[in-house]
Amino acid sequence: MSQTDLFAANSQNPEPAQEAAALRALLNRHAHLYYVLDAPEVPDAEYDRLFQRLQALEQAHPELLTPDSPTQRVGGRVLDSLRAVRHRVPMLSIQTETDTTEAGARAFDARVRRELGLAADAPPVEYAAELKFDGLAISLRYEDGLLVLGSTRGDGETGEDVTQNLRTIGQIPLKLQGEAPPVLEVRGEVYMRRDDFERLNERQREAGEKTFINPRNTAAGAIRQLDPALVAARKLSFFAYGLGEVQGWALPDTHGAMLDALQAFGLPVSAERIVGAGAQALVAFHQHVAARRDELPFDIDGVVYKVNSLALQRQLGFKSREPRWAVAHKYPAQEQVTRLNGIEIQVGRTGKLTPVAKLEPVFVGGTTVSNATLHNLFELRRKRARVGDQVIVRRAGDVIPEVVGVVPTVLAPLAERAARTGDEEAVVDAAAQAGPTAIAPRVPYVPNFRMPRQCPICGSAVVREKGEVNHRCSGGIVCAAQRKQAILHYAQRRAMDIEGLGDKLVDQLVDGGIVRSLPDLYRLGLTALAALDRMAEKSAANLLKALEDSKKTTLPRFLFGLGIRHVGESTAKDLARHFGQLDRIMDATEGQLLEVNDVGPVVAQSLHTFFAQPHNREAVAQLRAAGVHWEEGAPAERASLPLAGQTFVLTGTLPTLSRDEAKERLEAAGAKVAGSVSKKTHCVVAGEEAGSKLDKARELGIPVIDEAALLALLGLR
């Protein structure tokens, strides 16, 4: 029986204090499993249920609220400023080895052996090697196992109190596990995962807001926010790697054992670490991590070597406030400065037009980069990027290289020197410190790039919908850049239902120049298909039969298959019902299109623009000439349909009708089929194993019918 089950079994009528304590322990355990071990035992919904129960208890009994309660990770008052904190044990930096070859590791080992006075034939020194995270160094102070203070590194002597911000980070325990010492200061790194960074920037782009330069600066900026709710929204992470002040705890003998002990306290420690003997172990670790650097879910800028024995660390001591027993061995920088030579347009599979920077080739992130994305016109303008500028380019992991900013005017001479000396990283760091206000030139910004009005691939009109940041090609089915996507959409089951026409086959047909447009599909022959890689004659014959069968379709399926932006299945059915014939849809004005149920200005404009393109009309004509056909009828008044204006929801498995068949019959009768039950639902059709939708319908008092009643309602029985 799981701990969740045990809690449920033993919490029928517990005392509030006992229940709150049990909930805290259970939620903290599940949080550790989820955030630190990446091994959750319960679904999110169950965690949320327990969390809400604890919240309710604490609201009803405020005296039960404790500092280690999971509810204290969120919220917190907005501060006026950050309080200064003096570190009991200074947070010192370590020496950086910039020679990115194996010579850097061997030089460190040689220095350690020399400082220890070891003879050439003495046994090798044992080292601990770990990752050098690209984030913000922080200190966590635990007293009797409870987190009481979190602070930034600052100048090493004095930092800032960011406790309430650090509480929002799931990996940081509010209470240590096991027998914690009276005082334990843990040093570590707050960082941002690449996927969280990309999601954040995508949200910013969609909202038309400023995007962030890199995960490191984003994490550092977030930690110093005055509102913890903003910090929580950034989705930060944490790794522990060292100690500050310790009271009442006998330290382990080695650095590696110390990290194991921190892990046992419930703190996250990176698994990418080793203990090994001599320089060769360090070289092997450096090379191993370099090979896996792009696979890591977060940024690093090197690895760290430390003498493993804490006794030897004390013997080696410090030099210029840097430990002699540790060094950071760097990798090539993931941000560099180069010249923006030009801007070209790339058309994606969905028709999105992306400005691409043509760069003076620069080595960044382990490879030579000559192209980088600028995302869209509005982001390009926000970054004030112009052809001829010195720009900062970033490449990390498998993320597409991007231009993240322009070198500030005040740093331009430094950038020119960097181009000659190769010290671009100094410019990147200086630009980050200068801040966004320094990036804007002191003269008015005049763009020297314009988005094209016609698609550079097919010549179709380029459109940007109101409220959208992206420009798109309206060509769709005739645009070579969108060809594969258009074919796959056309062939899908809910459109023309061409079985056997999948991704790999479409790649072969398009890349081989066999299919250049949708009508070409119906010109395929058995010999040409059978000659394709991994295409047997039987498979080719089956595909040809599927293509032949697809010629007999319905107007809604055909409309949906054309892939017109914003025209989904439901809209295609509404259009077919309203107009009855394709030609009427193609010739409709925007005003006439707006008369269709659920068609708004965006959909009407998209439809009108699509059919205003002569080559789109020609493609439709060729498809009809190839034999694609459907039954057409007179325009229908939706109001005259028997179920017009009613909303139905389907749930469970019906005896004879599939979900799609039931949906089609309801929509043909004028009904709208929704995915969830609400107060606006008129009726729920329930089959076997109906779930929460049925419960919701009963709760709201909405009529529930079975398949037999549905067929009778539709006049089919």
For residues 304 and 325, the answer to whether their CB atoms sit within 8 Å is no
3-state secondary structure 188-237: EEEECCHHHHHHHHHHHHHCCCCCCCCHHHHHHHHHCCCCHHHHHHCCCE
- Short-list 128, 115, 622, CA closest to 324: 115
CA atoms within 13 A on the CB side of 455: 27
Question: Could you tell me the two tokens for 188?
Answer: 């570590």
CA atoms within 13 A on the CB side of 153: 15
For residues 87 and 151, the answer to whether their CB atoms sit within 8 Å is yes
Looking up tokens 């005896």 gives 655
CB within 8 Å of 667: residues ≥ 6 apart = 570, 573, 673
For residues 382 and 404, the answer to whether their CB atoms sit within 8 Å is no
For residues 134 and 191, the answer to whether their CB atoms sit within 8 Å is yes
Question: Could you tell me the two tokens for 494?
Answer: 């809910």
Dihedral angle of Cα 564, 568, 571, 577, to the nearest 10 degrees: 90
CB within 8 Å of 243: residues ≥ 6 apart = 184, 185, 186, 187, 251, 258
Q: At 359, give phi and psi (nearest 5°).
A: -105, 155
Question: Could you tell me the two tokens for 567?
Answer: 């025209």
Question: Could you tell me the two tokens for 628?
Answer: 């694609």
For residues 188 and 138, the answer to whether their CB atoms sit within 8 Å is yes
352 is catalytic: no
For residues 446 and 468, the answer to whether their CB atoms sit within 8 Å is no
Residues 247, 283: Cα–Cα separation, whole Å: 36
Question: Could you tell me the two tokens for 184?
Answer: 């334990």
For strands 300-307 and 274-277, give the pairing.
Answer: unpaired
Looking up tokens 């070209």 gives 344
CA atoms within 13 A on the CB side of 160: 15
Residue-wise DSSP of 342-353: EEEEEE-TTSEE
Q: How far apart are the first and last CA of the chain?
A: 50
Q: Which amino acid is at 677?
A: V
Total H helices, total E strands in the chain: 28, 24
Residues 611, 613: Cα–Cα separation, whole Å: 5
Question: What 8-state DSSP symbol labels residue 511?
Answer: H
Q: At 564, give phi and psi (nearest 5°).
A: -70, 130
Residues 130, 271: Cα–Cα separation, whole Å: 9
Q: Which amino acid is at 688?
A: E
Q: Which amino acid is at 444?
A: P
Residue-wise DSSP of 74-107: S--PPPSSPPEEE-SS-----EEE---STHHHHH
Largest pairwise CA distance in the chain: 99
Question: Could you tell me the two tokens for 683?
Answer: 């009726």
Per DSSP, the three-state class of 707 is helix
Residues 278, 373: Cα–Cα separation, whole Å: 43
Give me the helices (H) in 501-640, please: 503-511, 526-530, 537-550, 555-561, 569-579, 582-587, 590-593, 601-612, 614-625
Question: Could you tell me the two tokens for 320?
Answer: 């210029």
Catalytic positions, written as ranges: 132
